[in-house]
Structure 1
């Protein structure tokens, strides 16, 4: 009997690594900081400038994949933001769990386009380039959400809670789709008084409310040419669409071509708004961007871009223009330093008042 128990124990001991080897877990991250000088000038005069050492989207994360057999794998990931300039604060970036197979990848959770998560329009717009990977004062494509503020000329919804994502490749076309439930505490449907958590006065659970979003993007790359298009539908359940200038849908198209000695990329988009803005009667925002990258060596180059956007959804409708030029040098595949200048111009449509915000930035980024 004892011999049988010993044999069984040895069998389990040797069998355990077989299952462990089928699971692959990776710890990764990024340390990214920049020294930035920002100054502002307007019709009223200059406000001067100041230097600041800033964290630029530093993060660490865990991702993994387990082979389930038959070509099917389970995938998961957690990613957290950290403040590298002060070593303070840990925030959530993305978290997901899902399945991956020959048919594509399906995940659920908080998604921002990192790892196996999905952010269709944001990821597609980011193909137009940049030197700091869409973070810090030299950002060209911002993940500012659905508010479309006046801080970055081109903004797309990057990070969404409570969302489902799917991506696949069909005949060379990369397809990404995401639906965000974005649950909240919209109690207008039945009562304005809350009783308990996520319930109204009639004690009826509200499981899905706030702003639902559905995004789809398709991108095709053939040789040196990349083209793509996509849309984002916003279901503003908690907003009266007849009076609120909130986004209803965004449609975008992108194109890029690598000429060898340089590459060009462009973006055109329009966001339709619920209702109209009383200040100027506009019911949409139009955006465009043109960028160029010029390699100077195998690991260095210049990047430049110009973009222009309308913000008719703001209380004071504004037109934004953003011009940028930057130089980058890659010490390795994981370490980049860069220096650049960025000017963001805000012009109030009604009055013509203009404000220029200038940033001169030196950054260092390391991935691990």
Structure 2
């Protein structure tokens, strides 16, 4: 009896140690970002305000993993957006609007279910845009980076292992409407990495609802990145087709004249560079939007920014961008969190990660 009791104590201690080890894998992380943002050239006139998340959306998140043995592990992420300027949950009002997922990882890659980023978004932010879709110079100024192009709910994803430089990413999102095809979305990406060169081709397709006749919109994105000793070169080319393929960040006609119309057939191109300078990084890009519809509402933009590192976690930044709109186009200088109100904008801010 005493031997059995001692065995139970040993097993309980081992279980406690294993639980402690598993809990040690849980991580709380986040970004606190706030900036003075100035906007000019829109119908609101000259706007100056304090904004949360101009460079990178302010957030707090929880990540965890558990080793299940045999090369298999479970993982999860819960991430919510916060507004540093007001202390509120982000504008969506949903607690874990940014990410909420659980999955398994092993030799087959990683499979996850929940609210997740699209392969299209991952390509734009990780490969193409030197601003990582933040700051006034963000690729969001001309690339269709709003709504379900960024992240989707009810999503199943698979990330393959990288083999000989190649990897694959797939995503399927159920619309969860009475008609199974309504709001359904799927996409994928194929990537290749060879030393300093990264190439990635991404695709995103989504259906409308019954009111729109389930009309499909598609976005294709080709990105390239080349890392040199002293700088990193970025390039991207996008193709958009369909009624909801290129939603405007701010559709409220900020310039007058012909009302801005979302393009149902467009092309975008970006060339950019990131250069380490001193304790920070200089970022710059030029972009062009070619609207191939009868409205011909093209746009061209340029942006420049600098992030100065005070430490590994804290930095100060400044960014400026300008857009030239044609034929009544309504493109606005955005940042990571807001769509913007004018065709010229700047950010002066501080960000801290933990």
Question: Which bin holds the TM-score, normalised by the shorter protein?
Answer: 0.7 to 0.9
Cα distance change, pair 256–350 in 1 and its aligned pair in 2 (3 A): closer
Secondary structure at the residue paired with 1:318? coil
Partner of 1:145: none
Partner of 1:196: none
TM-score normalised per structure 1: 0.76
Partner of 2:333: none
Specify every segment of 5 or more residues in structure 1 that has no aligned partner in the other structure, as ranges: 113-118, 143-151, 185-205
- Do the aligned partners of 1:75 and 1:98 also contact (CA within 8 Å) in 2? yes
Partner of 2:281: 301
Q: Counterparts in 2 of 1:217-366, with a 5 A limit? A: 217-238=189-210, 240=212, 248-273=217-242, 284-297=265-278, 299-310=279-290, 318-348=297-327, 357-366=343-352
Cα distance change, pair 74–233 in 1 and its aligned pair in 2 (3 A): same
- Do the aligned partners of 2:181 and 2:207 also contact (CA within 8 Å) in 1? no
Partner of 1:190: none
1:73-104 CA-partner distances (Å, limit 9, x unpaired)? 01111101111111112542110111000210
Cα distance change, pair 62–319 in 1 and its aligned pair in 2 (3 A): same
Shift of residue 139 of structure 1?
Answer: 5.2
Cα distance change, pair 249–350 in 1 and its aligned pair in 2 (3 A): closer
Partner of 2:166: 173
Q: Counterparts in 2 of 1:1-368, with a 5 A limit? A: 3=2, 6-7=5-6, 9-20=8-19, 21-23=21-23, 24-40=25-41, 48-56=45-53, 57-89=57-89, 91=95, 92-112=97-117, 119-126=118-125, 127-131=127-131, 133-135=132-134, 137-138=135-136, 140-142=138-140, 152-156=141-145, 157-168=149-160, 169-184=162-177, 206=178, 208-238=180-210, 240=212, 248-273=217-242, 284-297=265-278, 299-310=279-290, 318-348=297-327, 357-368=343-354
Structure-2 separation of matches of 1:324 and 1:290: 11
- Do the aligned partners of 2:39 and 2:342 also contact (CA within 8 Å) in 1? no
Shift of residue 308 of structure 1?
Answer: 1.7
Secondary structure at the residue paired with 1:80? strand
- Do the aligned partners of 2:200 and 2:224 also contact (CA within 8 Å) in 1? yes
Shift of residue 226 of structure 1?
Answer: 1.6
Shift of residue 236 of structure 1?
Answer: 3.0
Cα distance change, pair 275–69 in 1 and its aligned pair in 2 (3 A): closer
Structure-2 separation of matches of 1:333 and 1:209: 46
Secondary structure at the residue paired with 2:82? strand
Structure-2 separation of matches of 1:327 and 1:19: 45
Structure-1 separation of matches of 2:244 and 2:38: 39
Q: More helix per residue: 1 or 2?
A: 2
- Do the aligned partners of 1:110 and 1:163 also contact (CA within 8 Å) in 2? yes
TM-score normalised per structure 2: 0.79
Which structure is higher in RCO with an 8 Å CA cutoff and minimum separation 6? 2
Secondary structure at the residue paired with 1:19? helix
Secondary structure at the residue paired with 2:220? strand
- Do the aligned partners of 2:197 and 2:227 also contact (CA within 8 Å) in 1? yes
Shift of residue 316 of structure 1?
Answer: 6.6
Secondary structure at the residue paired with 1:99? strand
**Bigger radius of gyration:** 1
- Do the aligned partners of 2:137 and 2:302 also contact (CA within 8 Å) in 1? no
Cα distance change, pair 274–154 in 1 and its aligned pair in 2 (3 A): closer
Secondary structure at the residue paired with 2:268? strand
Structure-2 separation of matches of 1:360 and 1:22: 44
Shift of residue 18 of structure 1?
Answer: 3.7
- Do the aligned partners of 1:268 and 1:289 also contact (CA within 8 Å) in 2? yes
Secondary structure at the residue paired with 1:16? helix
Partner of 1:201: none
**Aligned-CA RMSD value:** 3.1
Secondary structure at the residue paired with 2:307? strand
Q: More strand per residue: 1 or 2?
A: 1
Aligned residue pairs: how many?
314
